[in-house]
Amino acid sequence: MTTHRIRVLLRQSGMKSFLLIVMAVTCGILSAPEIIISMAAAEDPKPVAIISTQLTGISVGKTVILFGDTSFDPKGGELDYQWKLVSTPKGSTAMLYDDNSSQAKFIPDAVGIYKVRLVVNSGLTYSDPAIYTIEVTK
User: pLDDT tens per residue, the chain (138 residues)?
Assistant: 555 454 544 444 444 555 555 555 556 555 554 444 555 555 678 999 999 887 777 899 999 999 999 999 999 999 999 999 999 999 999 999 999 999 999 999 999 999 999 999 999 899 999 999 999 988
Shared-domain flag, residues 69 and 23:
no
Q: Residue 35: what pLDDT?
A: 47
What CA–CA distance (Å, rounded) separates 3 from 8?
17
Structural domain tally of the chain? 2
Are the CB atoms for 46 and 32 separated by under 8 Å?
A: no
Would you say residue 54 lies in a domain? no
The pTM for the full model equals: 0.69
Shared-domain flag, residues 128 and 80:
yes
SS3 for 35? strand
SS3 for 121? strand
In CATH, what number is assigned to the domain containing residue 86?
2.60.40.10
Shared-domain flag, residues 77 and 131:
yes
Largest CA distance in the chain: 88
Shared-domain flag, residues 75 and 124:
yes
Question: Residue 111's domain spans which residues?
Answer: 64-136
Q: Residue 10: what pLDDT?
A: 47
Shared-domain flag, residues 77 and 124:
yes
Would you say residue 73 lies in a domain? yes
